[in-house]
Amino acid sequence: MSSREIQHYIFQNGQFTFSDGATNEGMVISRYNISLARIEYYFIPDSNILAYRSARAQHDVHAHKSLGHLIDISKITSAQLIN
């Protein structure tokens, strides 16, 4: 997916299919990396979403690194929101 297409799915629970065929439920988040001057995208698996939200509420600015992993959004082939 392009950065424009993925914007509808940022910080939303969804089911994401990757180019390697893996389908995972979770949430894609975006973070700005100041030192590299770029936007990075992280995938937070469904099992870590509550912990991620709790950590963010407590101002843990590194929660995305400890509870998720860096992804290349061009490897996401499809996404579907989950209610």
Residue 55 in contact with residue 67, Cβ under 8 Å? yes
Q: pLDDT digit string (tens) for 23-71? A: 999 999 999 999 999 999 999 999 999 999 999 999 999 999 999 999 9
Distance separating alpha carbons of residues 68 and 70, to the nearest angstrom: 7
Q: pLDDT digit string (tens) for 4-18? A: 899 999 999 999 999
pLDDT attached to residue 2: 85
pLDDT attached to residue 32: 95
